[in-house]
Chains A and B, each alone.
Chain A
Amino acid sequence: MTESVVTTRGLGKTIGKKTILRNISVDVDAGSVVGIIGKNGAGKTTLLEILLGFSPASNGSAQLFGHDSFTLPAATKGRIGFVPQQDELVSLLTCRQQLALIAALHRHWNHALIERLLAAWEVPMDSLIQTLSGGERQKLSTLLALGHEPELLVLDEPVASLDPISRRQFLSEVIEISADHVRTVLFSSHIISDLERVADQIWIVRNGELAWAGPLDALKEAVVRLNISARRLLPSSLPLGNAISQQISGQRASAVVSHWNEEQLADLRRALDAEIEVEPLSLEDIFLEFHA
C-alpha cells in the first residue's frame, strides 16, 4: 500500500476575524506531483505553511508522513525540502558558505547532484548572497532544498523570478525528481503552463477553499466548454447542474461545466433540441473559468 505523504481533514485557518482557509481535506500519495493554483491571497502559502508546521490549524488536522504537522519530529523534518516564497538566505554569507552550512545540518547530502546543478544553473558560488539577483537567490534556495534529496519537496512559487531557460531547467529537474515515483512534490505557481507540464494532480484554491483537488487529466475531462446551437430560442437559464458560467444569445449558447461526463450529452441534446459541441479547455482556461 502506498504511504500517504500529506493528509488533511477539515483543515481551516482563521487569524483574528479573517478566515483564510476552510474545510480542506486532501490526501497525497508518495510519488505525486501536486500543482497548487489560486489567485493572490487565495490561501496557497497559508496552506503550505500549515502543512509544514509553521502555523497551527484552527480547525481540523494536517499530517505529514503520518505525523501532526505542528509537532513534526526531527526525523520527519529531514525528509522534507522547502523553498519558501521569500527566501531565507543569510545576506552576509557567500553561496558556498550557505550551502556548506545547510549541508552540515543534514546527515545525507548529495554533492554530485549539487555540483551538477551548480554548473547547469550557473550560480556564482563565491559571491555574497546580498549581491545576487532575485533569480540567482531563487536558484540557490532551490539547491538548498534539493541537496539532502528530500522525499517531500514543497515549492512555494519557485519559478517567479527565473528566466525562461532557468525555468525549463528547473522543471526538468522536478520531472526527474518525480520520475522515481517515490518522491513527492507540492508546487504552487502562477505560471499555469509550467504546472500543466509537470503536475499530475491539481489543487485549485479559491477564497480559502479547495475548488478542485484531483488528477490533472480528470480535471481536463470534467471541466469542458459546451458550444450549443439550438433550432429554437434557448431558455434564459440552461438546465446544467454544474455550470461554472453560461452565456446565452438567442439560439446559441456557450457554457463551462464541471463534473462533465459523456452520458449527460445525449440528455442535454434531447432537452434543448440542439447541436452541442464539447470543447476541452486548457488548464489556464479552466483556472480563469473557476475565477470568473
Chain B
Amino acid sequence: MRAALLMLCAIRLQRWLLVIGLGMVLIGLSGGFVILAILGVTLAVIGPLVTSGIVFRMVSAPRPVGLILFGRFKLLLGQLATQLLLAALVTAVITAALARTGGPHPVPTFLAVFGIATLAFFASYSISHRYGGIWWFAACLLVPRLTQHLSSRFLDRPVHEALLTPIGLRVSALAEVLAWVVFGIMYLNARRITLTSWVGPRTADAQPAAHFASARNLGPYTRKDAIRMLLSGNNQGRLRWSLRPMVIVVFCVALPALLPLIATQGRVAAPLVLRVSVICAFAGPAAAVLAIGMMRRVKSLWLVAGLGRLELLGTAERYGWYSVAITTALVWAVTLTMLGAADALPDFIRLGGLLVLPLASGALVLYFNLLLVRGRNLIDTLTVAGVTALLATQIICACVAPRSPFLNGLAAVEIVLVPVLRLAVVRRWEVLDWLVYRPPRLETRRAR
C-alpha cells in the first residue's frame, strides 16, 4: 500500500493535482456539473497515468532494492494496486456522473480504463529506456488500426462493440491479466533495471588513434561549439548529428501515418487529415521535450562558461527554438508531401492552422520546460494544469475531430500564451535559485 501511495503522490506537484482534481470531482458530483467532475478526475489521474512507468523505473533502479526481501515483488504489487485504484476512481466518477443519463455499465468501463492505464504504464516504463517509448507510441497508433481491420474481416461488428459482449469482456480481462503476468515475470527476472539516457549511441564512434596521441590535441572546438555541445549533451559537433534527434522524432511520429499510405500507393485519402493532424499535434511537444536535458546541464555552464543567468536562458532558448523549428520544418515537408501526393490539401485556413500547430505547441512546451516548474506554489501548479489540459485537448482533438476548426483555435491560444509564458520564464531566470529549482536528473550513473 505504501508503494501504491508513492506512485500516486511521488512528487508535490502530483499531490497538488490530485487534491485539486478530487476537489473538482466532489464539486462536480454534488452540484451536478458532469464536465467539471470528468475534468477533475482527468487532472487527478493524469500525473500517475503519464509518469507511473518512469517513477516505477526510478524506484526500481537503485541497487538497495535488490537487498530488500521481495523488494521488487512489493513494488510490482504496489504498482498494480495503483493501476487498480486509478481505474476504480475513474470508473466510480464516470458511473456517478453519467448515472442520470443511464451511463455506462461499471464493469466494461473499469476494464477499459484499466486497459488504458496499463498501456500508459507500459508506455511510460519503456519510454524511460532509450527508444522504447517511440516504438510503443508507433504500436499504439498501429494496433487500433490493425484490430479494426481484423475485426471487420473476422467479426461481424466493430471491435469496440465486440469487446462489450460477455465474451469480449472476458477476453479483454484475460488480456490485461496476461499482460501484467508477462510484465511481472520479465520485471522480476531482469538482471538490472536502469534509467538511461533517451538519445544517443551506447559506444563512442571510432576515432583515429593519432588524434588522441596527446592530451594537448584536445580537439578543434570553439567556445560556441563547446557551449552548444555541453548544453545539448550531443556527442558530435557536426550539424547532421545535432539534427538526428529531431529527424527521429518526426520519423517515428510520421511512420504510422506513412505506412498505410505507402501500402495503398496513396489511394487512402479519407483518414489522411487525421494522420496529418496527429503528426502536427505530437511532433512539436515531442521535439520540445528533448529540451529537458538542457535544463539539467545549464547550471554547469554558470561558472565554466562565465555566462550570466539571462545569457544562459538565451542560449537554452536558442537551442530549444532550433529543435522546434527544425522539427516543424520536417513536419511541414512530410505533411505537405502526404497531402499533396493524395491531392487532399484542405482549405488554406485549416491547412495554416495545422501547420502552425507544431510550432506553437513546441514553443509552448519549450517555455514550459524553461519555467522549471517544481509545484512549489499555486501559480506553478495552475500552469502545469493549464498546459497539460491544453496539450491533452490538442491531442484528443487531433485524434477525434481532425477536421474541426477547434484545432485552429487551440493553435491561436498557444500563440497568445507563448509570449506570456516567456515573460514568466525571464522573470524567474533573472533571480533563478538553483537550490530551489534543482536541475532534473534523468539518468543514473552506470557502473562499469
Contact of B235 among A52, A82, A92 (CB under 8 A): A92
Residues of chain B contacted by A131 (CB below 8 angstroms): 446, 448
Residues of chain A contacted by B300 (CB below 8 angstroms): 88
Tell me the smallest distance from the CB of A227 to a CB of chain B, in Å: 43
Stretch at the interface among B148-156, B171-179, B207-215: B207-215
* A192 lies within 8 A of chain B by Cβ: no
Taken together as a complex, chains A and B put the C-alpha atoms of A130 and B194 apart, in Å, by: 12
Stretch at the interface among A97-105, A204-212, A264-272: A97-105
Q: Are A97's CB and B448's CB within 8 A?
A: no
The chain A residue sitting closest to B222, CB to CB, is A104
The chain A residue sitting closest to B377, CB to CB, is A16
Stretch at the interface among B404-412, B419-427, B428-436: B428-436
What is the total of A-B residue contacts with beta carbons within 8 Å?
123
Residues of chain A contacted by B307 (CB below 8 angstroms): 74
Q: Are B431's CB and A56's CB within 8 A?
A: yes
Q: Are B445's CB and A137's CB within 8 A?
A: yes
Taken together as a complex, chains A and B put the C-alpha atoms of A92 and B436 apart, in Å, by: 27
* B64 lies within 8 A of chain A by Cβ: no
Taken together as a complex, chains A and B put the C-alpha atoms of A114 and B218 apart, in Å, by: 11
Taken together as a complex, chains A and B put the C-alpha atoms of A114 and B443 apart, in Å, by: 28
Q: Are B435's CB and A90's CB within 8 A?
A: no
Taken together as a complex, chains A and B put the C-alpha atoms of A16 and B436 apart, in Å, by: 9
Instruction: Give residues 227-253 of B contacting A (CB, 8 Å).
Output: 227, 229-230, 233-235
Q: Are A90's CB and B229's CB within 8 A?
A: yes
Interface centre among B212, B215, B307, B446 (most CB of A within 10 A): B215
Interface centre among B235, B307, B447 (most CB of A within 10 A): B235
Instruction: Mark A106-122 against chain B: 1 for CB-CB distance below 8 A, else 0.
Output: 00000100110010000
Q: Chain A interface residue count: which class?
A: 35 or more
Taken together as a complex, chains A and B put the C-alpha atoms of A137 and B444 apart, in Å, by: 13
Q: Are B219's CB and A96's CB within 8 A?
A: yes
Contact of B219 among A71, A75, A100 (CB under 8 A): A100
Instruction: Mark A192-227 against chain B: 1 for CB-CB distance below 8 A, else 0.
Output: 000000000000000000000000000000000000
Q: Are A97's CB and B219's CB within 8 A?
A: yes
* B302 lies within 8 A of chain A by Cβ: yes
Instruction: Mark B105-117 against chain A: 1 for CB-CB distance below 8 A, else 0.
Output: 0000000000000
Residues of chain A contacted by B305 (CB below 8 angstroms): 105
Residues on B close to A: CB < 8 A?
Answer: 196-197, 200-204, 207, 212, 214-216, 218-219, 221-223, 225-227, 229-230, 233-235, 297, 299-300, 302-308, 376, 431, 433-436, 441, 443, 445-448
Q: List 8 A-B contacts (CB under 8 A).
A: A80-B303, A82-B303, A100-B221, A100-B226, A101-B226, A115-B214, A115-B216, A125-B212
